[in-house]
């Protein structure tokens, strides 16, 4: 039987800095890169909106990646 754990984030949308490879933002998302803004904290939501606005200026286009295991 195959079970899915809905509480486990399987993917994240990563916005990489154009100027510093060690910096960027990552947000939980579905396999299509859709972020559920209602599930983000206020700070994370603000960071997400900032990251989207900075694509092409400070950040590269976002990419969907498997979530890092913690």
Structural contact between residues 24 and 16, judged by C-beta atoms closer than 8 angstroms:
yes
Are 28 and 11 contacting, i.e. CB atoms less than 8 angstroms apart? yes
Per DSSP, helices labelled H in the chain are 42-53
Nearest to 10 by CA among 23, 26, 28: 28
Residue 1: pLDDT over 90: no
Tell me what pLDDT residue 21 has: 86
| Cα(14)–Cα(33) distance, integer angstroms | 9
Query: Rounded mean pLDDT of 53-62?
Result: 98
Per-residue model confidence as pLDDT tens digits over 24-55: 999 999 999 999 999 999 999 999 999 999 99
């Amino acid at each position: 039987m195959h079970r899915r754990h809905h509480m486990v984030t399987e993917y994240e949308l990563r916005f990489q800095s154009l100027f510093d490879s060690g910096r960027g933002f990552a947000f939980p998302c579905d396999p299509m890169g859709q972020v559920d803004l209602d599930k983000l904290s206020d700070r994370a939501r603000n960071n997400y909106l900032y990251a989207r606005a900075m694509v092409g200026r400070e950040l590269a286009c976002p990419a969907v990646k498997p979530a890092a295991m913690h």
